[in-house]
């Protein structure tokens, strides 16, 4: 799994400390909706422990869980790309302890410190790719469940 802990581990001590200077630890109770789709993305987190479901609003149905994140994983990448709005929702399934980052300061740090910027960009790109694959697989699973008589155009 491509989590931000990999990013922190790969950074030199000075770069890591520079990034961590823009974080604070938060505790989030189980059952808390951290964000909803289309809301403004203004933070991101590194999960230290606990679990978070990423979900997709399905009109007329309960939200479809697309992925479950745990220890060491990045929660939130939408702050990095326009329109700076969440693409999925997030709800804690167990109590979460995480590092919460200020997305007003981190982009400036990435611009001023190219090694930090490269690490953050590379890690976020890997997370986006993994989430896209996870979402595709889950949506195909949901489609197959509700339309078992229809062939899937593409499946792994």
Residue ranges per structural domain of the chain? 4-144
CA distance 111 to 54: 29
Per-residue confidence (pLDDT) for residue 100, from 0 to 100: 97
CA 146 to each of CA 50, 55, 64, 136: distance values in angstroms, whole numbers, following the listed order:
31, 18, 13, 16
Q: CA neighbours within 13 Å on the CB side: how many for 36?
A: 4
Q: Is the pLDDT of residue 67 over 70?
A: yes
CA distance 147 to 112: 51
Write the CATH number of the domain with boundaries 4-144.
Answer: 2.60.120.10
Residue-wise pLDDT tens digits, 75-109: 999 999 999 999 999 999 999 999 999 899 999 99
Q: Is the pLDDT of residue 155 over 70?
A: no
**Vertex 8, ends 80 and 4: CA angle to 5°?**
50
Per-residue confidence (pLDDT) for residue 16, from 0 to 100: 87
Contact 89, 41 (CB under 8 A): no
């Amino acid at each position: 799994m491509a989590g931000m802990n990999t990013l922190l581990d790969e950074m030199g001590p000075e770069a890591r400390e520079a990034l961590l200077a823009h974080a604070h630890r938060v505790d989030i109770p189980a059952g808390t909706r951290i964000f909803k789709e289309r809301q403004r993305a203004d933070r991101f987190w590194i999960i230290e422990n606990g679990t978070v479901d990423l979900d997709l609003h399905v009109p007329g149905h309960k939200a479809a869980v697309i992925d479950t994140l745990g220890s060491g994983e990045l929660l939130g990448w939408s702050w990095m790309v326009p329109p700076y709005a969440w693409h999925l929702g997030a709800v804690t399934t167990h109590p979460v302890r995480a590092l919460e980052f200020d997305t007003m300061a981190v982009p400036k740090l990435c611009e001023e410190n190219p090694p930090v910027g490269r690490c953050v960009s590379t890690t976020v790109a890997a997370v986006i790719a993994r989430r896209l694959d996870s979402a595709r697989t889950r949506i195909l699973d949901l489609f197959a469940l509700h339309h078992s008589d229809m062939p899937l155009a593409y499946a792994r």
